[in-house]
Structure 1
């Protein structure tokens, strides 16, 4: 298993739950939480976004955005916003070596 999300008790550090990343990839981006739901992404090529129950870690739904997700999600007014494929490479002495796509997605949950 390459990646997983975990919940720890803030006081004791005790593991509350662990959910494996279904894409079997790393999930280095920060997660966002709203209304008891955790939203997370993965670096898998399909760009999956996962919604998980914050109390249990159970995956409620997923959506493939079409490109690797490196950043976190923002949540406002019932919508989840994330970019995909936006990456750039810098090589010494800091010149641009490559760029990715420029898509922005909004997933609205009502």
Structure 2
């Protein structure tokens, strides 16, 4: 499994885990102060699933500004993913993207 797949899965699972719906985090992704972080977290994840190009760079910058508003179980995997984006050459990111998200490869795995 590629790093992209592991990190996006961790973010997705972190958002679904108990803290997102109970405990100190209220229902529907709101924390005790009432800040609704869940839609923002899902939206930024969807933007980060783009092919690694100049648009993705802008989305990564937006995600970096969003990080402080997210709870730890969502923030930390996303931070690691953003670090990976910033420290990995574009050609390597493109290869990971194709290996993970290419519709042709997904059809071949079925």
Task: Determine if the TM-score, normalized by the shorter chain, exceeds 0.5.
Answer: no
Flag the structure with higher helix content.
2
Give the TM-score normalised by structure 2.
Answer: 0.29
Flag the structure with higher strand content.
1
